[in-house]
Structure formats: structure tokens, C-alpha cells
Structure 1
Amino acid sequence: MNLHDSPKLKKIIDQCCQGQSQAQYELFKHTYPYAMGICARFSSGPEEAKEILNDGFLKVFTQIKRYSPDLSFAGWLRKILINTAIDHYRKNKKYNDQHVEIVQEVDRPDAEKTLSQLHAEDILKLVQCLPPAYRMVFTLYVVEAFSHKEIAEKLGISIGTSKSNLSKARLKLQQALATITNSTHQTYGKG
């Protein structure tokens, strides 16, 4: 089963609305890769992603009667998971406000080459290493296409803070790419 609205998906959703645990398991099982991909982008690693995922599915199952078949189920699920990730961030905000000092580095032309050689999993790991405030803004802005105004409203920060966090996230990612580029040159030699 895929996440495109199909008769099988509709049947499983109808059964979930009736509280059937087997249908809930089927929905979870079939949407897990898609849902985990969303949660991973907002987390620092697999454990936090699973926590967001579990909280998100609790919301899905308690709110499934509100789902309208006129809407895409994948879009509805995505919205719930993003909001759950934002809630998780807010809940842990006092622990997230520890910022790492950023040192400006000179742009490296070989960083672009390194980026093109990375796999999606490698890029996700780099994003997951960002401080939580930077990761949240980066993911909402770059991946989910939220505006700075929307991010500011959702996170309870100013638009300027959203822009600053995005800039700092990009800088940290550039630094990480430079480190990878340097280690690649040291491992394999120059040239």
C-alpha cells in the first residue's frame, strides 16, 4: 500500500476511526518510512525521531475522525508530524537554547563537489548535528518551505531570530562540509 489515497487506505482509515487496533497497526506499518523520514529531519537522531513519531501517531489515532477523505492522507499526516515536531521542540526549548559558537570560515570551492558526493543519509546526519533551534528553522524553511513569518509564529520567536538561525544553520553546514572536504583530502591525498 502506498500513501496515495486508495480504496485499501480508505478502508484502513475507516477501521481506525472505529478504534480497531489491527487497522492502527497496519496504518502505522505502511506509513512508517514516510513518517520517520519527516521526523528524522527535525530530530538529533533516531531516538528523538522515534519519540516524535510515537507522539505524532498518538495524535493521528486520536484525531483520525477529523481527517477528511477530500484531503490527501499523506499531507494530513505530514502536517500532524510537523506540528508534533514543533511541539517537541517547544517542550524541550529550555534545553535547546544552548548555542554553539560559530567561527566564520572562507568558502571552499571544493565544498560544492563534496556536497554532490554525499548521500541523503549523510546530509540528514549533518542537519541532525545542528543545534535544535538552528535545525528546526533550517528544516521548516529549506525542506518544508515555511516562510520566516510562519516559522516565527509557530516557534514563538521573532522573524529576525528565524532569519538569524537559518543563517547560522547554513554556516554550520558549510563548516561541516569544509571539515569533510579537508578529511577527504587528507585521507586520499590531494589532487
Structure 2
Amino acid sequence: MPGSNSAAIDELIDGCLKSSRRSQELLYRQLYGYAMGICLRYSKNKDEAREILNDGFYKVFTKLESFDRQRPFKTWLARIMINTAIDYYRQEVGKDIFVHEEVAAEFPVQEAVISKLAYEELVALIQNLTPAYRLVFSLYVIDGYTHDEIAEQLNITPGASKSNLSRAREKLRELLSKINTDNYDRVAR
């Protein structure tokens, strides 16, 4: 559908395709917050997120001619940032970080507690997870990938993906419990 992107984004894309540094800078600035939000979910801190973000924007600018103008640009950008985060972990951490177990029991995260958390607090909790747990949790819960898709992306089994998700949820439950206990202790004093 033509017009799925704003005229400003289309204009910046045109400039980027003509190798305009100014257009690249403006596109980067306009979408920095959106892209950084994605990268923070997959990283352990802001420095790591910034590295992933910059690598991702490099890919955006070098592969922009492959972008289908009939689709939303933000969706394409998000996919690149997620794939860049996955590539980062493949290079930096290695595939041995994943638990290779068959199916693990699923534990639902207490949604009432999560709904009370601010976005920044949720990202901070996710950043406390190990790289494998953080990656699988973000892919499955936040970005909507299936276990089969995660397994294919990360070169692990669907069972390992399920196991990592289960363990991530359990770790988040522990972190949430600690927050609740700490808050109770402060109020009780």
C-alpha cells in the first residue's frame, strides 16, 4: 500500500539512497529512540545497546535499496535491529550459552505485576537475564517469534528455546519477587 510511511520518512529514504550524509543523520536521529528501545531489550546495558544500534543502522544504510516501499519502514528497521542483536550474540557470546534440554514446563509471568512496572523497569529486569534467556525471552514474548522460528534463527532446538524461555520467566519471577519484598520492607519500616 503506497503511503504506508510518512512523507518525511520517504524523503529521508530517497536522500539516503542518494548517499546524502544529511539524510542519513536525520533518519538516524528520527528513529534513534525507536531503534534504541529494541536494542535495549536485547542487550545487558546501554553501551552494548548502542553498539548493536550503530551496527544495525550501518546495515540499514548499506541495504536500503532492498527495502520494499510498500511495507512500513519501522517494521523493516525493527527486523534489522533484532537480527543485528542476534548476530552480536553469535559473535560475542557464542552458541554454547543456550540450554540444550527438551521441553521445559511453561511458567506464566505474573502479568498483573508486570503491568504495574514502567517500561524502563521492565527493560532493566530483562537486562538482568543471561544473554540466552534475554534473547529468547525478547524474541518470544516481546517480538512474537515462535519457538521454531527462534530455533532456526539461533541454531538451537525448539526444546532449547522453550527451556530458555521457561528459565527466563523463572528468573524474572525471582527478580519481581525481590522487588516486591524490597518494596514491602521499605513500607514496613
For the superposition of Structure 1 and Structure 2, which TM-score range results when normalised by the shorter chain?
0.7 to 0.9
Give the letter for the 1:189 counterpart.
Answer: A
Listed as ranges, the matches of 1:1-191 within 5 Å are 5-94=5-94, 97=97, 114-189=113-188
1:103 matched residue in structure 2: none
Assess, with a 3 A threshold, how the Cα gap between structure 1 residues 186 and 91 changes in structure 2: closer, same or farther: same
Q: 1:169 to 1:15 in 2, by over 3 A?
A: same
Cα deviation, 1:114-161, whole Å, max 9, x if unaligned, reads: 544321110110001000000000000000100000000000111111
Larger RCO, structure (CA 8 Å, separation 6 or more)? 2
Change (3 A) 1:20 1:150: same
Structure 1 unmatched runs, 5+:
100-106
TM-score scaled to structure 1, two decimals?
Answer: 0.87
Counterpart CA distance in 1 for 2:120 and 2:8 is: 31
Out of 164-173 and 66-75, give the one that drifted further: 66-75
- Report the number of matched residues: 177
Q: Deviations over 1:78-110 (max 9, x none)?
A: 1111110110111122397298xxxxxxx9xxx
Unaligned ranges ≥5, structure 2: 100-106
Aligned residues: percent identity? 43
| TM-score of the aligned structures, taking structure 2 as reference length | 0.87
Q: Structure 1 residue runs of 4+, over 6 Å off?
A: none
Give the 3 Å change call, closer, same or farther, for CA 144–115 of structure 1 in structure 2: closer
Q: 1:23 to 1:174 in 2, by over 3 A?
A: same
Letter in 1 for 2:181: N
SS in 2 for 1:5: coil
Give CA deviations for 1:45-65 in whole Å, capped at 9, x if unaligned: 101100100000000000011
8 A contact 1:114–1:181 mirrored in 2: no
Structure 1 residues 96, 48: closer, same or farther in 2, change over 3 A? farther
User: RMSD of the alignment, in Å?
Assistant: 2.0
Query: 1:114, 1:162 → 2: CA distance?
Result: 24
